Amino acid sequence: MVEDSRPSWENPMQFVLACVSYAVGLGNVWRFPYLCQMHGGGGFLIPYLIMLVVEGLPLFYLELAIGQHMRQGSIGAWSAINPYMGGVGIASVVVSIFLTIYYNVINAWAFWYLFHSFQGTLPWAECPLSSNLTTYVPECEKSSSTDYFWYRETLNISSSIEDHGGIQMGQALCLVLSWMVVYLCVLRGTEATGKVVYFTATFPYLVMIIYLIRGVTLHGALNGLKYMFTPKLSDLADPKAWIDAATQILFSLGLGCGSLIAFASYNHHNNNFEKQAIVVSLINSATSIFASLVTFSIYGFKATFNYESCLDRTQLLLINTFDLTEDSIKPDNLDDWISHLNASFPDKFATISSQIEGCDLESELDTAVEGTGLAFIVYSEAIKNMGLSQLWSVLYFSMLLMLGIGSMLGNVAAIITPLRDSAFLTRHFRKETLIGMMCLFCCLVGLSFTTRSGNYWFTIFNDYAATFSLLFIVLIEIITICYVYGLKKFEKDIELMIGHRPHWYWKITWSVVSPVLIIGLFIFYTADYIMGGTPTYQAWDSNLGKTVTKEYPPYAQAVIGLLLVTSMICVPLVALITFIKKKKEQAKESKIITTAT
Amino acid sequence: MVTYETDGQDAYKVRLSIKTALGANAYEWNESEQFLFRATLAFAMRKYTGQETFNVSSVIVCDETPRVSFWFVVTNPNNTATLIPKNAVEEAVRLSRNRINSAFLLSDKTLQFLGIPPTLAPPSQPSLPVWLIVFGVVMGIVTTGILALIIIGFIQRKKKEKTIEDEDEEEKQERIMENGISCETLEGKDGVNNGAYSHDEDRLTQL
């Protein structure tokens, strides 16, 4: 009996934790706080929660239902739902392959920073000295020690995407280690990762709680929290806020990759996934909000620190130029002094007026950063100014690692489960070998992200590999279930599993609300891409010590196009092939009938 | 009496940030502290040149400000009309910088000689970078884990195969006894003709 021989989770808790570990990832920490900041602080919660209820929850529920009912990975599940729609499963696997290849590079960086935290002074706390030992390295002085450590010592980044450079040994070693850790967790099969997810799902929360306690007690943290929680409701009138909310919910829950289907396929037939879907989605959103609390207290601390350093520098400049006593200028009378000195000694003041930077706390708080910039530059800058910075650094990067590995387990499951469903492959290869070969392949391809231009290619994958394609896949999924497979049939399947039909709310959102929303997103992003002109990227200029905007060369744009097309084309391609196959079979059958009579 | 101009060729400006460095323990800058400075500088010149003729009077200070900054020059002890050239003073200060700083409980940042860059302390470089050591430890643990899991899986599979083989053996044994009747006895006979079920005579209905 196929049902009995399929492996399963040891208990439902492992399934829930696996989903939480997969959904709660780096995006909760580095994307959501950024969106909050860009779209009016606390006010962003309104579109976010609305989108969660109207779009995120129903789609999450849908994918779990499919996985648990079909008891196969995404390829088998979609082929069983409708032979013409098998391409959806294949598209999911293709996107998951792209995702696994580039996502593990982030874990490699987290390992690198983690290993470098075991030093007396953190290496990104100070600039290295130039060869004559009198000044600091110019690139470091122009930017900052944290920027320098990230761009030069970690990535050794080249000045443009065309300049490939060689593979960086440190990065490559960390990437190999990351893949070995992933292999260690999954080599006994996805269902056996149930033990690992107890740790990867809970450890980040422990660190976040510790960071929250430390964060709110930091000097200046309240500035950041006040900034976050004063809602600027006028920002909600901007449609971009709603679009970003809808997109963030979709990607944050990890829909469309096939991971949820894979996890749910190991459930018992009568597992109550409805409750679990609601629980996991709510935990995911609550974690995003919790992470923003931590991030904004850190922002507040960093902004206040920079603001006060700016004030100190201006004060020093004034007392040095005008030879005033040391404690004559205080932050509160700084402006008075400036105007007084400007009036009394205009000539002398003119010589230094170019060096006087206007110190403004608001503008420090306004610098919104997301992604790797937030995680590896902004946070490490804040950490180096905290007491006991090595401890905080180790905690933080371990947390990043757990978040990243938890998500990786889901991505890898999305690929491995369909592979192990294939009878051909299971007959010829043991599961350890199959999983090992997949990890080896992804690791080797991933080494290209450890070259000097690797971070630019990483950005391409991050921005294009799993964004547009996932929207397309989720749209096709929901239309297939509602209109091709049939909502009535789906309802009956769910009733068989959990004993009652889904509430009318779910049915409305599945059949009308979510498809309309996703089509809207789709149209918006297509229009945005077409009207945006040549896509550009931020390249690091070592002479200026900051990033400059450059256009992607044609072959990079071709790669972008390839990423988008290879996954989306599976759907129509498989439909076409199935159609041709069916036609051939029909022709053969009619031939047999005619020859028999 | 030597006169010189500040910004002159051989003069250096010195700036002290005592309050920044020492906070509540800051001392007052007065004539005696100035005396100490001139003495320390004379010491630096003595050390650099090896001539023990330099004295506190060789160092001339002027233009003191409340910032606590001032200019100084060093006169040649053999000929008080001439000044020691700038390079020599610079080298002397660099040589004894640490001693000068310590005399005032200050550091390179808080006792500045404008124009003489401080020699920054090079960071200590251990023979093997620390990160590689941690990396090696973690890599070792992970490799051991992978090998252990693979071997356990291998052993479990062997055990399963063995139990399947044993089960097959038992099944074969049982098959020989079917329904309590030994197959050998069944194979021997062609079966027993049960007369109750054969109606050869009645196959054709009677007219």
Q: How far is CA B171 from CA B127, B159, B162, B164, B182, in A?
A: 67, 18, 14, 10, 15
- Minimal Cβ distance to B120: which of A134, A188, A323: A134
Q: Is A578:A86 a contact under the CB 8 Å cutoff? A: yes
Give the per-residue pLDDT at A97.
94
- Minimal Cβ distance to B119: which of A116, A133, A183: A133
Q: Is residue B177 part of a domain?
A: no
Helices then strands, each counted (H, E), chain A: 31, 2
Residue A562: which H helix or E strand, with range?
helix A554-568
Burial status of residue A524 (CB atoms within 10 A of its CB: 0-12, 13-18, 19 or more): middle
Beta strands B177-178; B12-16: pairing state: unpaired
Give the per-residue pLDDT at A75.
92
- Minimal Cβ distance to A324: which of B66, B150, B153: B66
CA distance A7 to A267: 9
Same domain, B86 and B31: yes
CA distance A313 to A569: 58
A61: nearest Cα among A194, A243, A260, A259: A260
Give the per-residue pLDDT at B72.
86
Query: Does the global pTM surpass 0.90?
Result: no
Position with higher pLDDT, A130 vs A67: A67
Same domain, B72 and B140: no
Same domain, B139 and B70: no
Give the length of chain A. 597
> In total, how many domains does chain B have?
2
Residue of A nearest to B69 (CA): A323
Q: Which residue, B78, B113, B148, sits at the end of a domain?
A: B113
B28, amino acid identity: E
Same domain, B131 and B89: no
Same domain, B132 and B62: no
Q: Contact B15/A320, CB-based, under 8 Å?
A: yes
Q: Contact B150/A324, CB-based, under 8 Å?
A: no
Same domain, B25 and B102: yes
Q: What percent of chain B has pLDDT over 90?
A: 9
Strand order in the sheet with B69-74: B59-65, B69-74, B12-16, B111-114
Give the per-residue pLDDT at B1.
43
Identify all chain A residues contacting B18, using CB atoms and an 8 Å cutoff.
326
Q: What is the mean pLDDT of residues A86-94?
A: 92
- Minimal Cβ distance to A129: which of B69, B122, B134: B122
Inter-axis angle of helices A86-115 and A74-81, to 10 degrees?
Answer: 160
Same domain, B78 and B139: no
Q: Is residue B54 part of a domain?
A: yes
Q: What percent of chain A has pLDDT over 90?
A: 48
Give the per-residue pLDDT at A461.
92
Same domain, B153 and B61: no
pLDDT digits (tens, 9 = 90+) for B16-35: 888 888 888 888 888 898 89
- B71, two tokens: 């200019």
pLDDT digits (tens, 9 = 90+) for A248-295: 998 899 999 999 999 999 999 999 999 999 999 999 999 999 998 898
Identify all chain B residues contacting A111, using CB atoms and an 8 Å cutoff.
135, 138
Q: How far is CA B99 from CA B31, B93, B112, B155, in A?
A: 20, 9, 14, 71
With a cut of 90, say whether residue B144 has pLDDT above it: yes
B126 pLDDT band, cuts 50/70/90, is low
Q: Is residue B159 part of a domain?
A: yes
A363 pLDDT band, cuts 50/70/90, is confident
Q: What is the mean pLDDT of residues A36-41?
A: 82
CA distance A84 to A484: 10
Counting one residue from chain A and one from chain B, the pairs whose CB atoms sit within 8 A come to 78
Residues 6+ apart with CB under 8 A from B50: none
Q: Is A23:A250 a contact under the CB 8 Å cutoff? A: no
Residues 6+ apart with CB under 8 A from A335: none
Asked if the C-beta of A116 comes within 8 angstroms of chain B's C-beta atoms, the answer is yes
The radius of gyration of chain A from alpha carbons, rounded to an integer in Å, stands at: 27
Q: Percent helix, strand and coil across chain B, each rounded to 5?
A: 50, 15, 35
Q: How far is CA A539 from CA A491, A567, B141, in A?
A: 51, 28, 38
Half-sphere exposure of A387 (CA within 13 A, CB side): 4
CA distance A303 to A360: 9
A73, amino acid identity: G
Q: Contact B131/A134, CB-based, under 8 Å?
A: no
Place of tokens 């007026």: A353
A44: nearest Cα among A53, A59, A54, A33: A33
Q: Is residue B198 part of a domain?
A: no
Asked if the C-beta of B143 comes within 8 angstroms of chain A's C-beta atoms, the answer is yes
A3 pLDDT band, cuts 50/70/90, is very low
Q: Is residue B141 part of a domain?
A: yes
Cβ within 8 Å of B, A 117-146 = 118-119, 121, 126, 128-129, 133-136
- Would you give the end-to-end CA distance of chain A in angstroms? 39
Place of tokens 């991050």: A462
Same domain, B139 and B103: no
Which range is least confidently modeled, B57-66, B100-109, B182-191? B182-191
Q: Contact B118/A111, CB-based, under 8 Å?
A: no
Residue of B nearest to A329 (CA): B67
Position with higher pLDDT, B3 vs A138: A138
B4 pLDDT band, cuts 50/70/90, is low
Q: What is the mean pLDDT of residues A158-178?
A: 91
CA distance A81 to A329: 75
Written in H, E and C, the secondary structure of A415-473 is HHHHHHHCHHHHHHCCHHHHHHHHHHHHHHHHHHHHECCHHHHHHHHHHHCCCHHHHHH
With a cut of 80, say whether residue A432 has pLDDT above it: yes
Identify all chain A residues contacting B140, using CB atoms and an 8 Å cutoff.
none
pLDDT digits (tens, 9 = 90+) for A442-485: 999 999 999 999 999 999 998 888 888 999 999 999 999 999 99
Q: Contact B130/A320, CB-based, under 8 Å?
A: no
Residue A80: which H helix or E strand, with range?
helix A74-81
Residues 6+ apart with CB under 8 A from A201: A17, A18, A20, A21, A24, A406
Residue B114: which H helix or E strand, with range?
strand B111-114
Q: Is residue B199 part of a domain?
A: no
Asked if the C-beta of A327 comes within 8 angstroms of chain B's C-beta atoms, the answer is yes
A329 pLDDT band, cuts 50/70/90, is confident
DSSP conformation letters of A512-558: IIHHHHHHHHHHHHHHHHHHT-S-EEEEEETTTTEEEEEEPPHHHHH
Q: How far is CA A519 from CA A516, A526, B38, B60, B143, in A?
A: 5, 11, 81, 83, 47
- A184, two tokens: 């260690």
Give the per-residue pLDDT at B185.
53
In the three-class reduction of DSSP (H, G, I as helix; E, B as strand; rest coil), residue A388 is classed as coil
Q: Which domain holds residue B95?
A: 12-113
A493: nearest Cα among A55, A5, A81: A81
Q: Is A301:A219 a contact under the CB 8 Å cutoff? A: yes
Q: Is A303:A364 a contact under the CB 8 Å cutoff? A: yes
Give the per-residue pLDDT at A2.
43
Q: Is A549:A95 a contact under the CB 8 Å cutoff? A: no
A420 pLDDT band, cuts 50/70/90, is confident
**B179 dihedral zone (left: phi>0; alpha: psi -120 to 50; beta):** left
Q: What is the mean pLDDT of residues A368-377?
A: 82
Q: Contact A184/B146, CB-based, under 8 Å?
A: yes
Asked if the C-beta of A192 comes within 8 angstroms of chain B's C-beta atoms, the answer is no
The alpha-helical segments, DSSP class H, found in B50-129 are 86-95, 97-103
Asked if the C-beta of B67 comes within 8 angstroms of chain A's C-beta atoms, the answer is yes
With a cut of 60, say whether residue A514 has pLDDT above it: yes
- Minimal Cβ distance to B120: which of A133, A173, A319: A133
Q: What is the mean pLDDT of residues B147-162?
A: 89
Same domain, B48 and B74: yes
CA distance B59 to B41: 7
CA distance A207 to A199: 12
Identify all chain B residues contacting A326, using CB atoms and an 8 Å cutoff.
17-20, 67-68
Identify all chain B residues contacting A121, using CB atoms and an 8 Å cutoff.
123
- Minimal Cβ distance to B130: which of A119, A170, A181: A119
B183 pLDDT band, cuts 50/70/90, is low
Identify all chain A residues contacting B131, using CB atoms and an 8 Å cutoff.
112, 115-116, 118-119, 170
Which backbone phi and psi does A195 adopt, to 5 degrees? -75, -35
Q: Is residue B204 part of a domain?
A: no
Cβ within 8 Å of A, B 151-190 = 153
Asked if the C-beta of A214 comes within 8 angstroms of chain B's C-beta atoms, the answer is no
Residue of B nearest to A433 (CA): B150
Burial status of residue A304 (CB atoms within 10 A of its CB: 0-12, 13-18, 19 or more): buried
- Minimal Cβ distance to B139: which of A136, A177, A324: A177
Residue of A nearest to B116 (CA): A134
pLDDT digits (tens, 9 = 90+) for A376-393: 888 898 898 888 899 999
Q: Is residue B25 part of a domain?
A: yes
- Minimal Cβ distance to B119: which of A118, A134, A325: A134
CA distance A56 to A255: 9
Residue B87 C-alpha, separation from nearest chain A C-alpha, in angstroms? 16
With a cut of 60, say whether residue B206 has pLDDT above it: no
pLDDT digits (tens, 9 = 90+) for A541-555: 888 888 889 999 999
The radius of gyration of chain B from alpha carbons, rounded to an integer in Å, stands at: 52
Same domain, B74 and B23: yes
Residue of B nearest to A328 (CA): B67
Same domain, B79 and B36: yes
Q: What is the mean pLDDT of residues A93-99?
A: 93
Written in H, E and C, the secondary structure of A219-234 is CCHHHHHHHHHCCCHH
Give the per-residue pLDDT at A572.
92
Which of A109, A115, A145, A316 should be substituted to probe chain B, the one whose Cβ sees the most B Cβ atoms within 10 Å? A115
Identify all chain A residues contacting B120, using CB atoms and an 8 Å cutoff.
129, 133-136
With a cut of 60, say whether residue A158 has pLDDT above it: yes
Q: What is the mean pLDDT of residues A573-590?
A: 90
In the predicted model, what is the mean pLDDT of chain A?
A: 88
Burial status of residue A369 (CB atoms within 10 A of its CB: 0-12, 13-18, 19 or more): middle
